[in-house]
Amino acid sequence: MNMTGHWEADRAARFSRRLGKSAAELGESGGTTTCPDVWELSNGDVAVIGRDLTDVLATRLPDGVSVGADERVVVIPRSMLVAAKPDIPDA
């Protein structure tokens, strides 16, 4: 959190470690290197690389949920999040 009381992405953070397995290990890569991924950043935040489906899914958001002008709805395969679960701390 910053001084205004809401979370802001740390633009200085670096990729620290992959959470879970690579898309290639999970059979989700299609033989390319442009694949979905989940990474812990140097400050503990998480970066997700996936398909930007904001335009498609923004109209289907549940009540009370919105996407800010500087936010995107990113989709990754379920198998990637399941594989990352052991690397994600409980607290």
Determine if the pTM surpasses 0.75: yes
β-sheet bridge partners, residue 39: 18, 47
CA distance 5 to 28: 38
pLDDT value of residue 10: 96
β-sheet bridge partners, residue 51: 75
User: Which residues neighbour 83 within 8 Å (Cβ) at sequence distance 6 or greater?
Assistant: 20, 21, 25, 26
pLDDT at residue 1 above 70? no
pLDDT value of residue 30: 82
Closest listed residue to residue 84, CA positions, set 40, 20, 5: 20
At 59-84, the pLDDT tens digits run 999 999 999 999 999 999 999 999 99
pLDDT value of residue 34: 78
At 5-49, the pLDDT tens digits run 789 999 999 999 999 999 999 988 887 777 899 999 999 999 999
CA distance 3 to 70: 19
* Three-class SS state of 41: strand
